[in-house]
Amino acid sequence: MVTGPKRRKSNAKTKKNDARTPAKGLIQEQPLGKNEAKILGLVTRGEALFLAKFFAAFFALEAAVNYFGFPLLQEFIASTQAGMLGLTSAGSLVFAKEGIFDINPSCTGLVSSSILFAIIFSLRKPEMQKKIVIFLSGAALLLILNYFRVLAVLWTAREFGPGAAEIVHIASWFSTTAFVLALWYFFTKKITGAKDFSGFM
């Protein structure tokens, strides 16, 4: 008895399944979110947006601080610190050993506060009310820190001359920049309770 060719149902079924499921060993790539897509392979879209907003806000605020000036604050710093150190002052000028120091707008702590403002308000999170609280808390501490920073510079000028004071001025400026980041991290974590900052951009 001769029989016809048998149908290979199992093979057809296997091929059908193979078309729906990926082969073993292959990794399925998940689509990136709109803020995770790389721009030129360097930064994500969210990071690029943050940097653009940060620099725009910082340069605008820094220009405003230096253009308008804050003479009352400048003169307050100059007069009170000159009095504490036994020096003389006139307006925003402090007369120290072999040198005259001008307490200009950049010496008021407002530029450091501008950096903090630019960081906080360039991020997507937290919500606006918490951003305001974080900024005001950090800015208050920065103004106090800056007051003693300038005092340290003038004390150094009185004791060791303007050359040593310039070194202290530069070193304290960079340390203040690091302190700005520390304040942002501390108050953001304290107020929001966030443990992961990856979603802030």
Scan for tokens 């005001």, then name that residue. Answer: 136
SS3 category, 20? helix
Sorted by where each begins, the domain ranges of the chain are: 32-193
The low-confidence residues of the chain, meaning pLDDT below 70, are 1-41, 197, 201
- pLDDT at residue 41, rounded to an integer: 59
Which pLDDT belongs to residue 134?
94
The pLDDT value recorded for residue 19 is 47
Instruction: Quickly tell me which residue has 């606006």 as its tokens.
Output: 128
Q: Which two tokens stand for residue 137?
A: 């808390």
Q: Note the pLDDT tens digit of each residue in 121-177.
A: 999 889 999 999 999 999 999 999 999 999 999 999 999 999 999 999 999 988 998
Upstream peptide bond of 126 is cis (omega within 30 degrees of 0)? yes
- Residue 1: predicted pLDDT: 46
Helix axes 110-122, 162-192, angle to 10 degrees: 30
Q: Say how far apart CA 70 and CA 110 lie, in whole Å.
A: 9
The arrangement of strands across the sheet holding 88-90 comes to 88-90, 93-96, 99-102
Backbone angles phi, psi at 117, to 5 degrees: -60, -45
**Residue 95 CB contacts under 8 Å (≥ 6 apart), including other chains:** 82, 87, 88, 89, 101
Decide if 153 contacts 106 (C-beta within 8 A).
Answer: no
Contact 95, 87 (CB under 8 A): yes
What's the whole-model pTM score?
0.75
